[in-house]
Amino acid sequence: MALSRRKFLLGATVTGAWVTWGALPAWGVGATASSAQFMEVSKLLINHQLDETVGARIAAAAAKKYPQCAQMLTSIAALAQAKQAKQVEDFFGDIPEGPLQEFAHWVIFAWYSGCSSPKKDAQLFTFEHALTYKTTADTVAMPSYGFSGPNLWSRPIVPLSNMPIF
């Protein structure tokens, strides 16, 4: 079986590229935080029923804000698992001060406030499902331009009264 010079060069190039890319560190490949991993840690940090769609939005923002997000989530989950924690009070004191504790505070802030920061340029994750609102949801009306509640932009339909008969 004769191997032409063109086939040899093509094979050597493909093999060289495969070896080169395989030896490089995986910059960000496989290191991104999954939404499920974020929800698992969020449920440990916050003792409420959490919305999955809001969690996906917060997880995406966390991945942008904290490049080491996946590693931080893994570290927090490992701390909770080591303490066999069922709630935040069981393990939060063991989170070391610094970037890891700052990240945990940011996650809690995001769930309660529904946004990424108190600044004007903050990213809004949710208004209706912010946990701050949940404590007073049954007693205080949320300020909104909606007449009858959040995301309700129409007035309730009033039934017509009986028409007079002449």
Question: How much is the pTM?
Answer: 0.65
Q: What pLDDT does residue 5 have?
A: 72
Q: Which pLDDT belongs to residue 147?
A: 62
Residue 64 to residues 28, 32, 81, 113, Cα–Cα distance (Å) = 12, 10, 26, 19
Tokens of 159: 């039934």
Q: How far is C-alpha 7 from the chain's CA centre?
A: 49
CA distances from 40 to 3, 35, 128, 166 (A): 55, 9, 22, 68
- Are 123 and 107 in contact by the 8 Å Cβ rule? The answer is no
| pLDDT, position 7 | 72
Which residue, 115, 114, 97, 92, is CA-closest to 41? 92
- CB neighbour list of residue 37: distance below 8 Å, 6 or more residues apart: 70, 73, 74, 77
Max Cα distance, the chain (Å): 105
pLDDT at 30: 43
CB 50 within 8 A of CB 42: yes
CA atoms in the 13 A half-sphere facing the CB of 121? 0
Report angle CA 92, 125, 147 to the nearest 5 degrees: 125
User: What tokens does 163 get?
Assistant: 């028409």
In a structure prediction context, what are the per-residue pLDDT tens digits for the chain, which is 166 residues long?
A: 567 777 767 666 655 555 454 444 444 444 456 889 999 999 999 988 899 999 999 999 999 999 999 999 999 999 999 999 888 899 999 999 999 999 999 999 999 999 999 999 999 999 888 998 877 767 766 666 666 666 666 666 777 787 778 8
Q: Are 119 and 113 in contact (CB under 8 A)?
A: no
pLDDT computed for residue 164 by the predictor: 76
